[in-house]
Amino acid sequence: MPVFDYDPPERFVAGALGQPGARHFFLQARAEGRLTTVALEKLQVAALAGRLDELLDEVQRLSGGAAHVPALAPADLTDDAPLDLPLSEDFRVGTMALAWDAEKSQVVIEAQEIVGDEDDEDDDDTADPAVLRVRISAGAARAFTQRALQIVAAGRPPCPLCGQPLDAAGHVCVRLNGYRGGEAAS
């Protein structure tokens, strides 16, 4: 199992390439001349950002303010630069995990490769998945979250009625099409 370990990275960001509606999302970690790029879904980026904020808020609450967790991203940690090139996907993310290392006052983020893809005939069920493991400060985690949420929000605007993304070519809103979320189809 290859483990891409960054403790700490020089840079850890979420990014997207492509036009809204056809974007590809990535996490990138860089340190000491190494660059790891993993692909994931937009919803995974949003979930990671949301859970990171929740984790940091909970650490702050449980520590009674003793933990050094900023409420907002420190301005000096803001990273608005594009993804590093060349962009070469190391693996596609399946599951992610978060933890707080109280001893080092760091967030630990792990992104694990999808294994057992039904479409991959050469897949070995005994193969261990690759893992991207990143350890970052609470301030860097807030900055990551801020950027990730901006990346997610930069896509297609949501329909004000159903919340689904609006397409430039048009949108068939389920709320205006007689569909009711609580009813089962017959």
In this predicted model, what pLDDT tens digit does every residue of 97-130 receive, in sequence order? 999 999 999 999 999 999 875 555 555 556 799 9
Q: What percent of the chain has pLDDT over 70?
A: 89
* Neighbour-count burial of 31, counting CB atoms closer than 10 A to its CB (0-12 exposed, 13-18 middle, 19+ buried): middle
Angle, CA 83 vertex, CA 70 and CA 23 arms, to 5°? 100
pTM: 0.82
Residue 81: what pLDDT? 96
pLDDT digits (tens, 9 = 90+) for 142-167: 999 999 999 999 888 778 888 777 77
What gap in Å lies between CA 14 and CA 148, rounded to an integer? 5
Report whether pLDDT(73) > 70: yes
CA distance 7 to 110: 12
